């Protein structure tokens, strides 16, 4: 059965362990997976894996994804302003720590991100995000699995 959705990865900042999870899920379920970055990212050669290299200009990879992502697809990014753009298109978005971005939480996340950026620009160190470890990777894996299963169930009922 043809899957009615693909995975889109904002690959510039996706940690290698999260990328490995994405690849494993995509292989197992034969999902189309698009890795988009402004440089080549090492991915396995497979018919369902695609590496898109964009120009190095700001937001080029984000813009490519916004222009090409399908309504039923899943996006993976840690870029909160980019996630906000995708929320406006009603796309399923998760970050590499297992957070599902949606209309209920994106405004708060964006406000917090902008506040921390303002602190940084004024020379004030804000609270650092914890390291990316097993706990974060497990949360990501569980969230990705949950969202993929929702999409698979939805495609079987249509």
Mean pLDDT of the chain: 88
Structure tokens at 148: 């993929």
pLDDT tens-digit series, residues 136-145: 999 999 999 9
Res. 107: pLDDT tops 80: no
Note the pTM of the prediction, 2 decimals: 0.85
Arithmetic mean of pLDDT, 98-119: 75
pLDDT for the residue 108: 72
Arithmetic mean of pLDDT, 23-30: 94
**Residues, the chain:** 158
- All structural domains of the chain, each given as residue ranges with its CATH number in brackets, are 6-157 (3.40.50)
**CB of 49 within 8 A of CB of 69?**
no
Distance separating the N- and C-terminal Cα atoms of the chain: 12
Collapsing DSSP to helix, strand or coil, 35 comes out as strand
Instruction: Count CB-CB contacts under 10 A for residue 19.
Output: 19
Arithmetic mean of pLDDT, 87-101: 95
**CB of 76 within 8 A of CB of 14?**
yes
Closest CA to 20 of 123, 137, 128: 137
pLDDT for the residue 131: 81
């Amino acid at each position: 059965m043809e899957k009615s959705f693909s995975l889109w990865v904002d690959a510039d900042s996706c940690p290698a362990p999260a990328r490995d999870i994405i690849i494993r899920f995509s292989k197992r379920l034969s999902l189309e997976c698009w890795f988009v970055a402004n440089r080549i990212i090492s991915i396995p050669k497979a018919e369902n894996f695609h590496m898109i290299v964009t120009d190095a200009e700001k937001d080029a990879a984000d813009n490519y994804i916004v222009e090409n992502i399908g309504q039923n697809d899943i996006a993976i990014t840690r870029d909160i302003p980019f996630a906000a753009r995708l929320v406006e298109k009603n796309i399923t978005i998760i970050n590499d720590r297992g957070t599902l971005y949606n209309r209920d939480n994106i405004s708060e996340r964006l406000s917090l991100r902008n506040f921390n950026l303002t602190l940084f620009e004024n020379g004030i160190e804000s609270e650092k995000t914890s390291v990316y470890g097993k706990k974060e990777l497990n949360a990501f894996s569980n969230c990705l699995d949950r969202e993929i299963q929702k999409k698979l169930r939805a495609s079987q009922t249509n």
